[in-house]
Amino acid sequence: MAASDSGVVLFAKAISRLLGWTYFLCWSGSFYPQPISNWKRKSTLGLAIDFPTLNVLGFISYTISTAAFLYSPTIQSQYAFRHPESPETTVRFNDFLFAAHGALLCIIIYSQFFPRIWGFKVGARQKASQAILGIFWGCILGILIVALVVQTQGKDGGYDASGWAWVDVIYALGYAKLATVVIKYIPQAYVNYKRKSTVGWSIYPMLLDFAGAIFSMGQLIIDSSLQNSWEGVTGNPVKFGLGNISILFDIIFICQHYILYRVPAKDEEDQEQEDDERERLLAQRIY
């Protein structure tokens, strides 16, 4: 390799590391505005509980997935067998650190919906909707089914990558994370639409999320180009999907906050009281 080519590679790797830690700071920082806002207001009004419910599952799954790709020789060898053109995974330490940090913060945000713990004011709906709970448990069931198939149908107990293998369980965890990302934004977008307001819901996580998604995608593209193969992208579908889906929903939320609902239709507590009364009447009709 010529000296100039070597210099380009070293520069690209340095840019990749810079983008990786920049996206880590942006995405990690995006977890703080909402719980701080809840704490200052002593209330979770305006935040859909569906969002943190799916986030807890998603980030725990992502933490296990990234840890396996980084620290499990079995998973690394099975990944290399499945991707011979680029046997080194594009999962980086900043991916794992982001996932673990995110899981912790998501648990804290979810706990703020329990008045016995924080004493915050919460809405009438103190648990996720049936649809969200169905997706939550469906993801867990799907992961367990894949693990059972690997254990019973995999070659050499799942250690032979030519058949069902333990790397498939790790992929299932990653896809569970991806599924929660696709779905978790929808309830919050609907709550903002229904209330015609974003009061009580912080826009700052979305701004940081948008920036982080751009940097994350940039790192993934550079890492794949260094391997001279797009298998670095196809072999890390979770990171690729996270970036694209986040950008799409961040744009929706930014439009809601800065364009559609700049002036709230009603006061936050008045709107919440109306929502509580509507849900109470609906519950009476059902039961």
The total number of residues shown for the chain amounts to: 287
In the beta sheet, which residues pair with residue 219? Answer: none
What's the N-to-C CA distance of the chain in angstroms?
A: 74
Single pTM value for the model: 0.75
Using CB atoms within 10 A of its CB, is residue 179 exposed (0-12), middle (13-18) or buried (19+)? buried
Residue 69's pLDDT band, with cuts at 50, 70 and 90, is: very high
82-91 mean pLDDT:
80
More confident residue, 283 or 42: 42
- Given a contact cutoff of 8 angstroms between Cβ atoms, the answer to whether 230 and 224 are in contact is yes
Instruction: Using the predicted structure, report yes or no on whether residue 8 has a pLDDT greater than 50.
Output: yes
pLDDT at 286 (0 to 100):
43
Confidence of residue 240 (pLDDT cuts 50, 70, 90): confident
